[in-house]
Amino acid sequence: MISMQIVRPNFTNNILKLERDFYFGYHSRAKVFCISLEGIDGCIVDVTLERTISWDDWKVVNNEFEEFLQSKISLHHLMGKMFHVWDGNHRLQA
């Protein structure tokens, strides 16, 4: 994942459009999704020890991802952050 200027910030209208698109079920464009550092409340959530206690196998994946971020100076600002995926299978509609 690379931060690029051409990727626009998350706007409420974008999320509402995605919600409308998928309200009646999965559709062919579902493989297109948005990733945001901000959750539905607009807050950025840090990955904490307390949060990872219940992760089990995900701890290994998270550690690998953090090592990758550490290896790329341009991605350091993403370290220790939760990512939110906005798509047709979003938990609010699931």
Handedness of CA 26, 31, 84, 51 (dihedral sign): positive
Q: Which amino acid is at 8?
A: R
pTM: 0.57
What residues does 46 pair with on adjacent strands?
81
pLDDT for 1 equals: 46
Residues of the chain short of pLDDT 70, as ranges, are 1-15, 18-19, 21-33, 87-94
Structure confidence by residue, pLDDT tens digits, 21-33: 666 655 555 555 6
How many DSSP H helices and E strands does the chain contain?
Answer: 3, 2
Alpha helices by DSSP H, listed for the chain, are 12-22, 49-52, 58-71
